């Protein structure tokens, strides 16, 4: 997942770490204690979430990684994070990967490491949480109110009535500050056409609530989207509205660039450098998505090279 979504999800779970911990462990006897330094200094790597917890009366660490898209090295990454944290802190470390949107070929646990003679050297168990497989009612349980912005990402959640329910529940439970995060999550599944237009108009009516929200202010302060930051600097309501919309578009562009580079990495690894260079030059979402589809059906490296060059020429 891009850093944008890492930051957004960190803002969300920070509102009530105990609720997030309870959700991840499915109601087991677990208590959040405090935040852990997310830099694992065995090597300079950063985990998304490291929490000190008490699980059934014993000390442990919760480790969570947020993912917007699959990563073919995910198992190895989580294994490295887990092993580093276990070595440093000498307590059990429970690792989870939370996926926000459906994707093919997600790496499933356990991660197994074999020697050249096929001998099993290491095996590591972690858990995947796929939000699109979770029933919405699970997040509507008492005690999980701060996770309500995730409702549009749950099973059958990409619907207008779900977004309306999310808004109503956030207001009912005094969580209006989280509405900007709910908007961001809904924008992941309302990507284009009439649905996206409806989403923009629905949240535009709550602009004053956005301006008063700590989540909105932190999204701007952290520079999570160029559009949000620009909107505040202009100091106009219309500018802020346009800024939020620009931020959503920018997020889709980043995701399309990621998919293009990932496709090239898997099928034509020698062209990854060219793909990164060309993708950074293209600001048209339609062109990027069209190039990704074409690359899926391209059979030779030379053809792929032409697709990448022509992609940038069209923009």
**Strand 49-55 vs strand 58-67: parallel, antiparallel, or unpaired?**
antiparallel
Domains, in order of start, for the chain: 3-133 (3.40.1350), 137-224 (no CATH), 253-314 (no CATH)
Bridge-partner residues for 99, per DSSP? 67, 130
pLDDT for res 40: 65
Quick: pLDDT tens for 58-101. 999 999 999 888 888 899 999 999 998 998 889 999 999 999 98
Q: Look at residue 109 and tell me whether its pLDDT is greater than 80.
A: yes
Q: 131: closest CA among 39, 309, 9, 311?
A: 9
**CA 228/CA 248 separation, integer angstroms:** 10
Task: Please give the C-alpha separations between residue 158 and each of 36, 150, 236, 260, in angstroms, as whole numbers.
Answer: 34, 11, 31, 25
Q: How is 127-186 classified by DSSP, letter by letter?
A: EEEEGGGS-HHHHTSTT-GGGGGGGGGSTT--SHHHHHHHHHHHHHTT-GGGHHHHHHHH
Q: Look at residue 2 and tell me whether its pLDDT is greater than 80.
A: no
Q: Indicate the pTM of the whole model.
A: 0.69
Bridge-partner residues for 39, per DSSP? 46
Quick: pLDDT tens for 185-209. 888 888 777 888 888 888 887 877 8
């Amino acid at each position: 997942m891009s850093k944008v979504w890492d930051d957004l999800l960190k803002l969300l779970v920070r509102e009530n770490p105990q609720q997030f911990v309870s959700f991840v462990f499915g109601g087991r006897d677990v208590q959040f204690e405090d935040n852990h330094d997310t830099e694992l200094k065995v090597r300079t790597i950063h985990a998304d979430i490291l929490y000190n917890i008490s699980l059934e009366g014993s000390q442990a660490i919760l480790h969570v990684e947020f993912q917007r898209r699959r990563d073919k090295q995910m198992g190895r990454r989580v294994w490295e994070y887990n092993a580093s944290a276990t070595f440093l802190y000498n307590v059990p470390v429970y690792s989870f990967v939370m996926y926000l949107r459906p994707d093919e070929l997600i790496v499933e646990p356990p991660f197994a490491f074999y020697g050249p003679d096929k001998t099993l050297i290491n095996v590591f168990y972690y858990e995947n949480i796929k939000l699109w497989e979770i029933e919405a009612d699970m997040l509507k349980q008492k005690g999980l109110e701060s996770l309500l912005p995730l409702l549009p990402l749950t099973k059958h959640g990409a619907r207008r009535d779900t977004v309306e329910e999310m808004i109503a529940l956030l207001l009912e439970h005094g969580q209006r500050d989280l509405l900007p995060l709910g908007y961001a999550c809904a924008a992941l599944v309302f990507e284009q056409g009439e649905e996206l237009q409806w989403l923009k108009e629905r949240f535009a009516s709550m602009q004053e609530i956005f301006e008063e929200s700590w989540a909105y202010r932190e999204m701007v302060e952290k520079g999570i989207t160029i559009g949000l930051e620009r909107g505040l600097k202009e100091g106009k309501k219309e500018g802020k509205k346009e800024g939020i919309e620009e931020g959503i578009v920018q997020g889709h562009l980043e995701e399309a660039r990621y998919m293009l580079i990932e496709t090239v990495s898997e099928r034509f690894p020698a062209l990854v450098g060219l793909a990164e260079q060309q993708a950074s030059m293209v600001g048209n979402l339609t062109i990027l998505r069209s190039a990704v589809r074409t690359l899926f059906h391209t059979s030779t490296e030379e053809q792929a090279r032409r697709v990448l060059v022509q992609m940038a020429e069209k923009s």
